[in-house]
Amino acid sequence: MAELDTSGGGKKSGGKVRSKKASTRVDLTAMVDLAFLLITFFMLTTTLAKPQAMDLGMPDKDDTKKDQLAVPASRTMSILLGSKDKLEYFVGEPGKVSPIISDYSKNGIRKALIENSQRIKAQSGGKDMIVLIKPSDKSNYKNMVDILDELGIAKIERYAIVDIVENEIESLKRDNLY
């Protein structure tokens, strides 16, 4: 039990004679209980930082290739994730178009995504661009999250994460990004 003692303390010699005051006793148990209740209340009602997760739809393992539709290469943009926080991208078929080196900034890949999306939508009669994300062995998890964030900012809803092929790895090696 917590209490506050307000007694006068020790007796002093000399001085005036005064009447002895009765000591008061304040019980602080209720205040301690109230403090713990308030602490508990605020701890339980405070919203902590909620983790942000991105929805990523993956195909079924049993899905066969018969359900796939042919997409013209002119509607696809391939993004090759390299090392040193750099990437290469190109629109069209690999090997026929030279890739462009870029970074994850708003004037880098974001600008390219928005411009290519608008151009492809105008050329294809309103059909959306499809982005193929191809992470290499030298790219890291942060690069993957960054490119998914950039796709969300550019409002591109059609994308796929696919394996990188050998001639694309050679392109990254040629540009010192592998």
Per-residue b/e over 15-53, b at no fewer than 16 CB within 10 Å? eeeeeeeeeeeeeeeeeeeeeeeeeeeeeeeeeeeeeee
Which pLDDT score, from 0 to 100, does residue 93 have? 84
CATH architecture of the domain formed by 72-174: 2-Layer Sandwich (3.30)
Which pLDDT score, from 0 to 100, does residue 51 have? 75
The domains of the chain are located at: 72-174
Which pLDDT score, from 0 to 100, does residue 15 have? 62
Per-residue confidence in pLDDT tens, the chain, 178 aa: 566 666 555 555 666 777 777 777 888 888 899 999 999 998 888 877 777 776 766 667 776 666 667 778 888 999 999 988 899 999 988 778 889 999 988 899 999 999 999 999 998 888 889 999 999 998 999 999 999 999 999 999 889 898 998 988 888 899 888 8
Amino acid at 45: T
Q: How far apart are CA 3 and CA 29, in angstroms?
A: 7
Return the closest-CA partner of residue 147 out of 115, 177, 102.
102
Supply the pTM of this predicted model.
0.65
Which pLDDT score, from 0 to 100, does residue 64 have? 60
